[in-house]
Amino acid sequence: MKKKLVVLTGAGISAESGIKTFRDSDGLWEGHNVMDVATPEGWHKNPALVLDFYNQRRKQLKEVEPNLGHQILAELENHFDVYIITQNVDDLHERAGSSNVLHLHGELLKVRSSKNVNYILDWQDDLNFGDLDDNQNQLRPHIVWFGEEVPALEEAIAITRKADYFAVIGTSLQVYPAAGLIDFTARETPIFYIDPKPIKIPNLRNPLDVIPEVASEGMKILKKKLTEFI
Per-residue pLDDT of the chain in tens (230 residues, 90 and over written 9):
899 999 999 989 999 999 876 555 555 566 778 889 999 999 999 999 999 999 999 999 999 999 999 999 999 999 999 999 999 999 999 999 999 999 999 999 999 999 999 999 999 999 999 999 999 999 999 999 999 999 999 999 999 999 999 999 988 777 667 778 999 999 999 999 999 988 888 888 899 999 999 999 999 999 999 988 87
Burial code (b: 16+ CB inside 10 Å, e: under 16) for 199-219 equals eebeeeebeeebbebbbbbbb
pLDDT of residue 28: 59
Q: CA-to-CA distance for 38 and 140, rounded, in angstroms?
A: 12
The CA distance from 8 to 182, in Å, is: 9
pTM equals 0.92
DSSP structure string for 72-132: HHHHGGGTSEEEEEES--SSHHHHHT-S-EEETTEEEEEEEESS-TT-EEE--S---TT-B
Check 70, 93, 103, 105 and give the catalytic one. 105
Task: Indicate the pairing of strand 81-86 with strand 28-29.
Answer: unpaired
Q: Check if 105 is active-site.
A: yes
Q: Residue 174, Cα to own-chain centre: how many angstroms?
A: 13
- Output the pLDDT for position 26: 54
Cβ neighbours around 25 below 10 Å, total: 6
Confidence at residue 116, expressed as pLDDT on a 0 to 100 scale: 93
Question: What are the CA-CA distances from residue 221 to residues 118, 121, 145 (Å)?
Answer: 40, 38, 34
- How far apart are the C-alpha atoms of 45 and 39, rounded to whole Å? 10
CA–CA separation, 83 and 102 (whole Å):
8
Cα(90)–Cα(95) distance, integer angstroms: 10
Beta strands in 118-230 (DSSP E): 120-122, 139-143, 165-169, 191-194, 208-211
Question: For residues 187 and 14, is the Cβ–Cβ distance under 8 A?
Answer: no
Going through the chain in order, the beta strands assigned E by DSSP cover: 4-9, 28-29, 32-33, 81-86, 101-103, 106-113, 120-122, 139-143, 165-169, 191-194, 208-211
Q: How far apart are CA 230 and CA 195, in angstroms?
A: 24
Closest-CA residue to 156 (of 190, 172, 179):
179
Closest by Cα among 155, 27, 177 to 87: 177
